[in-house]
Amino acid sequence: MGNTRNEQKLSFDAIVVGSGISGGWAAKELCDHGLKTLVLERGRDVRHIKDYPTTNLNPWDFPHRTSLTTALKKENPIADSCYAFDEATQQFFVKDKEHPYVQDKPFDWIRGYQVGGKSLIWARQTQRWSKYDFEGPARDNFAIDWPIRYEDLAPWYSHVERFAGISGNRDGLDTLPDGEFLQPWELNCAEKSIQEKIKSRYTDRYVVQGRCAHLTKPAAVHLEQGRGQCQARNICYRGCPFGGYFSSNSSTLPWAMKTGNLTIRPDAVVHSIVFDEAKNKATGVRVIDAHTKEMTEYTANIIFVNAACLNTNLLLLNSTSGRFPHGFGNDNGLLGKYIAFHNYRGNINAVIEGFEDKIDYGRRPTAAMMPNFRNVHKQETDFLRGYMVHYSASRARWNGVHAEGIGADYKTQLTEPGSWHVSMMMQGETIPKEKNQVWLHSEKKDDWGIPLLVTSVDYDENDEKVLKDFLQQGSEMLEAGGCKEIRPYDNGRKPGNDIHEMGGVRMGKDPKTSLLNKFNQFHNCKNVFVTDGACMPSTSTQNPSLTFMAITARAVDHAVSELKKMNI
């Protein structure tokens, strides 16, 4: 990847804060446009392949067969609340004690501080948002109106999908727009049966295969990135040496590096944005070396803030100046407010009979899903918005406790595969509210002298109603799908555990009610852009990262054209 990572040049055309999913995209697009770009990353360097130490280990190679020790779990209740945190992946997760924050209300803040950010450990689900998601807030009168519509983003979805490589089926649903897909993964026999039964019972509910950022059939542009076909190993969270799934480390960053325009500085904690009152614009950023604690200022014509939603809020709140005494761009006092997330509290388990002569074979990095069917065309329930549903069916590998008999018979029984299980999980939209907010602690600071973030984000009555509806509707759908022993439950997950936090620096049409314009520029400082989750006025029911990518590519395109016109 060249030797530009440690160069001590201080002036660039563009600065990108953060090297995760959105920062990687900002870097790629800026470098493709010929801008000398500096990516500042607070975490350590992680090089594709070389720095995936557990990627080729078998379970028996780990001291605890990939399980975490009780001590490690006890020390990390926040990180451990994430299903993907284990002995094989822990190196890519922030440990609780290393980076504390203050929970005014319970909130699991899951982070990955390293080059690549959470792109190494995400679940790679990449559904486009639909026109209903962008029109929703205005139609149902909550949050603020999006300054863009699906049509504004559609070409940019295509742009990022082609490059990242998204596998998916063209399902032709207006609630889940099709994209530029590579070959889809197949549903298994039990899932297909549920799919057909639900289709024949309901006119508005469709089970489809989840679209995901995996190379089922790499195209030329993926081979050019040095990536190869997904091997369906399903140990993606350790980093993939094949580049089978999309990460900044395997895709956008090495691509940007090849242009010769990229400098990456790991271990660089961005402290604040520098605002020059005479020039009436931002001129750069202050950076603290993670190890020496030495402060350096870097300058650039444009700055992209991509530190991930809550860290972007933190950085901007910490960027005070004579012009912005309450945080960067914060003339209306809304910075840090209207934080939203996805409601993950509903689960339903069941069994399905009739497939005992079949077994599912091999692995799949995705699962079936159902796009939202609540309040899609009009407001029709006593709660706002709705939820999407994740599904999967699989056969237990052994008969376990269900085995019958004694002695040799019992042993033989144990070797037989068990029953088919179905699981269902909701992903509910939450309504952005002013009181769901983050701010800087007035006294407590981190090891770099930066105030700790306080999170005050909670569920509300709407979320309880959404949960109740899912548990009821989901159970009915599983029954219609031929399932038995249906067990719906509230898993009690805390906000934040979805790892889809959004808002705090929202886009909008009106500077009185939003911070960013339709191209993600601050209304009051046009050379600073925010294109991670912080910019989102509402959350949709779909996973957000593909939308972050598309919004980022669109914003870079605008930034470069404005720069050429000398407008910023």
Ligand X SMILES: Cc1cc2nc3c(=O)[nH]c(=O)nc-3n(C[C@H](O)[C@H](O)[C@H](O)COP(=O)(O)OP(=O)(O)OC[C@H]3O[C@@H](n4cnc5c(N)ncnc54)[C@H](O)[C@@H]3O)c2cc1C
Distance from C-alpha of 411 to C-alpha of 392, rounded to nearest angstrom: 29
405: helix, strand or coil: coil
Instruction: Say whether residue 23 binds ligand X (CB under 6 A).
Output: yes
CB of residue 530 to ligand X, shortest distance in Å? 10
Nearest to 416 by CA among 428, 435, 406, 403: 403
Contacts of 177 (CB under 8 A, 6+ apart): 128, 130, 131, 150, 154, 157
Distance from C-alpha of 116 to C-alpha of 47, rounded to nearest angstrom: 9
Q: What is the chain's alpha carbon radius of gyration, rounded to the nearest angstrom?
A: 24
Q: Dihedrals φ, ψ of 292, to 5°? A: -85, -15
Instruction: Say whether residue 473 binds ligand X (CB under 6 A).
Output: no
Distance from C-alpha of 217 to C-alpha of 387, rounded to nearest angstrom: 31
Among positions 68, 194, 270, 300, the unique one binding ligand X when judged by CB under 6 A: 270
153/308 with CB nearer ligand X = 308
Contact 342, 427 (CB under 8 A): yes
Instruction: Say whether residue 371 binds ligand X (CB under 6 A).
Output: no
User: For residue 103, what are its two tokens?
Assistant: 């929970």
446/479 with CB nearer ligand X = 446
366: helix, strand or coil: coil
H or E element that contains 197:
helix 189-201
Burial (Cβ within 10 Å: 0-12, 13-18, ≥19) of residue 342 = buried
Instruction: Say whether residue 164 binds ligand X (CB under 6 A).
Output: no
Instruction: Say whether residue 533 binds ligand X (CB under 6 A).
Output: yes
Distance from C-alpha of 521 to C-alpha of 543, rounded to nearest angstrom: 23
Distance from C-alpha of 553 to C-alpha of 545, rounded to nearest angstrom: 12
Cα distances from 282 to residues 274, 277, 383, 421, in angstroms, run 6, 8, 42, 55
CB of residue 452 to ligand X, shortest distance in Å? 13
Q: How many binding residues for ligand X (CB under 6 A)?
A: 40
Among positions 153, 175, 543, 555, the unique one binding ligand X when judged by CB under 6 A: 543
486/550 with CB nearer ligand X = 550
Within 67-86, which residues bind ligand X (CB under 6 A)?
82, 84
Instruction: Say whether residue 51 binds ligand X (CB under 6 A).
Output: no
Quick one: which segment of 39-47, 61-69, 190-198, 354-362 binds ligand X (CB under 6 A)?
Answer: 39-47
CB of residue 253 to ligand X, shortest distance in Å? 11
Place of tokens 């309880």: 464
User: For residue 81, what are its two tokens?
Assistant: 């609340």
CB of residue 386 to ligand X, shortest distance in Å? 18
334/530 with CB nearer ligand X = 530
Within 492-521, which residues bind ligand X (CB under 6 A)?
499-500
CB of residue 540 to ligand X, shortest distance in Å? 11
CB of residue 551 to ligand X, shortest distance in Å? 11
79/477 with CB nearer ligand X = 79
The pattern of x and - marking residues 299 through 338 that bind ligand X according to CB under 6 A reads: -------xxx--x---x-----------------------
Quick one: which segment of 13-21, 176-184, 340-348, 419-427 binds ligand X (CB under 6 A)?
Answer: 13-21
CB of residue 32 to ligand X, shortest distance in Å? 18
Within 106-125, which residues bind ligand X (CB under 6 A)?
110, 112-114, 117-119, 121-125
Q: Dihedrals φ, ψ of 552, to 5°? A: -65, -50
CB of residue 20 to ligand X, shortest distance in Å? 2
Tell me the residue nearest to ligand X as measured from the CB. Answer: 20
The pattern of x and - marking residues 168 through 187 that bind ligand X according to CB under 6 A reads: --------------------
Among positions 51, 145, 463, 532, the unique one binding ligand X when judged by CB under 6 A: 532
CB of residue 283 to ligand X, shortest distance in Å? 17
Contacts of 457 (CB under 8 A, 6+ apart): 105, 107, 339, 341, 436, 437, 438, 495, 496, 501
Contact 531, 334 (CB under 8 A): no
Number of H helices, E strands in the chain: 12, 22
Q: Could you list the residues that contact ligand X (CB under 6 A)? A: 17-23, 40-43, 82, 84, 110, 112-114, 117-119, 121-125, 269-270, 306-308, 311, 315, 499-500, 532-533, 543-545, 548
